[in-house]
């Protein structure tokens, strides 16, 4: 039941403004394509593998098509036209021939050529989408057979050794200790690679490379431990950076359950071009919708660069924008793991009451979303005893406000990459709080007119004011001005801009053609 007494008219106004602010960006995304969108299409069509230099064949194929005819028509029609006219019956073989300079591409011109090329492309990508559908159905069967975790929030724990074969036993140990969701942190810098590495990887910096083979290996390992512990253990990775659409496709094909997929994180924190990001994120979310994948957004990151009190309303604004973009792409509320974080300076008087106000505001604005509640990082000092206590307060805030996904906080945050023993202590902290206060949110009702209600109303009011300014100025201008996370990112700059193309009148994408059907 609502506990903050939010004015429904103000809430409606906030969503209306978010839609008005977001629609021009959606229009921009619908009228453009990128190299990563086109590569994702060809991955669904069946392109696999990489050359001797480790560059995926799908990159080679898109580069060859682009060199001959550009991106503006889409790559599917030229690629399948070439297959039909040159007698190639395997799309990966086509990529290999293109890389060797043995194939030239043209946009089919006659009605018969267009019809034949598009029919072949639809058949190939349709097989890829059917594979995604089968993996979604497989997840549903496993959940029915093994069961979901008995409690909410789901306990979300990170592994990040750099070596997939070390990640696997750590992930299985975490599941046995009570983790419901395992997130494999991606190697630092991978978001800026404009290709996806191939195969199983054993070297990474502060994380493990996100590859389709690594996805497959970890999913199989978690299936094994799911049967052992008697509940379905979910797997998370990243659909972000320059290969966001391809990551989404690979996640769908390998039955990942959650993907980090924020509409602005790559813009703000990786300096990826805003247009590239919004085009890529729309396609990736359409794939996630089809695959039944929950997205996790990154609002918590704003509070690592901006003050968590002064910038609290920017988190709410971003959540509302992420919700609009997600709904427009076809995601349902149960797939919206909207992010927020426990990042107020604990030395500030009434800091815990403010944390409760912010967390409860998010919970009430998005009642059907499995919100992702993030632990303290910015104000962890290296004092592990203080850190463990602060994580306990974070866990209590999650219990009091009914969060959906609770990321396990580590007392060694800002000191070392956690050891298994650190994770065990952190999980003990979570279990103690959730066992002792797991349903306390049923009894917790802030006092009418009290501090928590007033703070929540104030943050929502500031969010509405900011959204109104964004509607007037434009979202891309707001991002350029440093509105979110104090990072200034102009729309005509940033990494990956050269991989964006405006769609021509005859643009053809057999995947979005299916995903956009009502």
State the catalytic residues: 265, 300, 372
Q: Answer whether the bond into residue 456 is a cis peptide, omega within 30°.
A: no
* Burial of 223 per CB tally in 10 Å (0-12, 13-18, 19+): middle
Residue 97 backbone phi and psi in degrees, to 5: -65, -40
Tell me which residue has tokens 């805003």.
274
Question: Which of 296, 43, 268, 272 minimizes the C-alpha distance to 156?
Answer: 296
Residue 168 CB-density burial (10 A; 0-12 exposed, 13-18 middle, 19+ buried): buried
Pull the structure tokens for residue 473. Answer: 């100025």
With CA atoms as reference, report the closest residue to 79 among 120, 31, 129: 120
Residue located via tokens 């496709």: 249
Residues 6+ apart with CB under 8 A from 183: 156, 157, 158, 159, 236, 237, 258, 260, 407
Between CA 217 and CA 485 the distance in angstroms is 35
Specify which residues 295 forms β-bridges with.
259, 336
Those residues whose C-beta lies under 8 Å from the C-beta of residue 333, and which sit 6 or more positions away, are 366, 368, 369
């Amino acid at each position: 039941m609502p506990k903050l007494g939010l004015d429904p008219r103000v809430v409606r106004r906030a969503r209306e403004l978010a839609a008005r602010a977001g629609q021009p960006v959606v229009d921009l995304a619908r009228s453009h394509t990128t190299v990563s969108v086109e590569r994702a299409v060809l991955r669904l069509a069946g392109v696999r593998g990489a050359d001797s230099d480790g560059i995926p064949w799908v990159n080679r194929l898109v580069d060859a098509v682009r060199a001959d005819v550009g991106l503006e028509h889409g790559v599917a029609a030229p690629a399948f036209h070439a297959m039909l006219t040159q007698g190639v019956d395997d799309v990966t073989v086509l990529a290999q021939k293109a890389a060797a300079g043995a194939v030239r591409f043209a946009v089919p011109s006659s009605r018969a050529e267009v019809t034949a090329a598009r029919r072949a492309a639809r058949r190939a990508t349709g097989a890829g989408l059917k594979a995604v559908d089968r993996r979604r159905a497989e997840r549903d069967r496993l959940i029915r057979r093994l069961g979901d975790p008995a409690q909410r929030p789901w306990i979300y724990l990170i592994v990040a050794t750099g070596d997939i074969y070390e990640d696997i036993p750590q992930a299985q140990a975490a599941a046995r200790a009570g983790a419901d969701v395992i997130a494999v942190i991606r190697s630092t810098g991978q978001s800026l690679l404009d290709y996806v590495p191939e195969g199983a990887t054993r070297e990474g910096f502060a994380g493990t490379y996100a590859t389709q083979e690594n996805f497959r290996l970890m999913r199989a390992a978690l299936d094994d431990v799911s049967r052992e512990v008697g509940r379905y253990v979910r797997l998370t990775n990243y659909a972000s950076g320059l290969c966001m659409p391809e990551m989404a496709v690979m996640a769908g094909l390998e039955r990942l359950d959650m993907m980090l997929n924020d509409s602005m994180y790559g813009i703000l924190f990786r300096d990826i071009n805003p247009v590239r990001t919004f085009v890529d994120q729309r396609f990736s979310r359409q794939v996630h919708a089809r695959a039944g994948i929950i997205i996790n957004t990154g609002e918590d990151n704003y509070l690592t660069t901006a003050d968590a009190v002064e910038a609290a309303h920017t988190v709410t604004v971003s959540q509302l924008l992420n919700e609009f973009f997600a709904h427009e792409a076809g995601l349902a509320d149960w797939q919206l793991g909207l992010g927020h974080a426990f990042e107020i300076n604990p030395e500030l008087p009434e800091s815990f009451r403010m944390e409760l106000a912010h967390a409860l505001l998010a919970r009430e604005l998005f009642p059907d979303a499995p919100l992702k509640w993030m632990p303290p990082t910015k104000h962890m000092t290296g004092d592990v005893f203080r850190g463990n206590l602060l994580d306990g307060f974070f866990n209590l805030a999650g219990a009091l406000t009914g969060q959906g996904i609770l990321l396990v906080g580590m007392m060694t945050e800002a000191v070392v990459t956690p050891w298994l023993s650190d994770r065990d202590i952190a999980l003990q902290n979570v279990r103690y709080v959730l066992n002792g206060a797991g349903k306390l949110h049923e009894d917790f009702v802030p006092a009418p007119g009290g501090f928590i209600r007033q703070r929540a109303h104030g943050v929502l009011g500031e969010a509405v004011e900011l959204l109104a300014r964004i509607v007037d100025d434009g979202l891309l201008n707001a991002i350029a001005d440093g509105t979110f996370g104090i990072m200034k990112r102009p729309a005509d700059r940033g990494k990956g801009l050269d991989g964006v193309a405006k769609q021509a009148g005859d643009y053809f994408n057999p995947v979005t053609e299916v995903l956009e059907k009502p």
